[in-house]
Structure 1
Amino acid sequence: MSHDDTRVNLGKAAPELYRAVMALDGQVVQRAKAAGIAEGFSHLLRLRASQINGCAFCLRMHTRDALAAGESSDRVSVLPAWRETQYFSDKERAALQLVEAVTLVAHDQIPETVYAEAAELLSTDEIAAVEWLAIQINVWNRVAIASRYPVGPEK
């Protein structure tokens, strides 16, 4: 696969739309914070969606941000297999499952079982925040992947 600069950079081609996405991102982050979602875990939620989407740019960024916010390297490392671990609380597991379902919405919508489990463990504000985090990172993943943002060792 070629990694040249032949893709349109969406942020540069439509800076007003990029700024609007940035503004929405800020609101989503504030909503998550207001709902009591820890900053580090909010990065893990975005990291999980980015893993599913295969967005290298967002994977690197949210891994760094999660670690900087105090998440452990163990929680970051096991994230793709979170169901097989004891690293996440029941509430975190419900949030991760919901982020995955929103990210995979084309696969089977958001299954009633996933939503019911989230509703049992998370408040309305938490559900809204988690779903908005998922929606927002899915926007960013698509911008970065479509633009083919360069991701390589920093010099």
Structure 2
Amino acid sequence: MSPERRIHLAKAARPAFDALDAFARTVGRIAAEAGVDDRLKELALVHSSQLNGCAYCARVHVERAVAAGVTVDEIGQLSTWRDSGVFDERERAALELAEAYVHIADDGISDELYDHVGGVFSEAEYVALSWLLISINAFNRLTIAGRYPVPPLPKAEV
């Protein structure tokens, strides 16, 4: 079946999509209240979307990351963050947690990772980041399954 003929899941069951969208907005408010800034949030969401292979969500969150002050250099180094010196301790912990949530079926959230991340973030921040990552993984699956189109941006926007 071609992408043009696929059922658009968000449109076909709008109440389900609206609930997921409301969930994501709630999670965003929880993150802000917990002190998770937009830069940290968007780095984790971009990385999750990249790892999941969700071009649509990667584009959305790259745009938001840039608006939050993330540089092109930093976005380019997300895939190599472990070897890069551009991310601080909090960002590195968030990226590691993002990877664990993307690959949760492999190892879950190990005690070592939980302890490490818990030593970097407050409990409220850990909870908020976890819910953000649960949310983006749900959106990634929705858009990948539906093959949401990602056309090239007009040259002026690139």
Range class of TM-score, shorter chain: over 0.9
Quote the offset at 1:121 in angstroms: 1.2
Per the normalisation by structure 1, the TM-score is 0.94
| Correspondence 1:12-27 to 2 at 5 A | 12-27=11-26
Mapping 1:97-116, distance limit 5 Å: 97-116=96-115
Residue in structure 2 matched with residue 76 of structure 1 by the alignment: 75
Q: Equivalents in 2 of 1:20, 1:91: separation in Å?
A: 30
**Consecutive aligned runs of 4 or more in structure 1 exceeding 2 Å deviation:** none
Q: Match of 2:6? A: 7
**CA–CA distance in structure 1, aligned partners of residues 128 and 152 of structure 2:** 33
For 1:86 and 1:137, the matched residues in 2 are separated by 26
Q: 1:102 to 1:4 in 2, by over 3 A?
A: closer
The count of corresponding residues between Structure 1 and Structure 2 is 154
The answer to whether structure 1 residue 151 and structure 2 residue 121 are counterparts is no
Q: Is the 8 A contact 1:7 1:146 kept in 2?
A: no
Q: Distance in 2 between matches of 1:33 and 1:3?
A: 39
Identity among equivalent pairs (%): 38
State the match for 1:36 in structure 2. 35
Query: Which runs of 5 or more structure 2 residues have no equivalent in the other structure?
Result: none
1:65 aligned partner: 64
2:132 is matched by which residue type in structure 1? L
TM-score under structure 2 length normalisation: 0.92
8 Å CA contact retained: 1:82, 1:88? yes
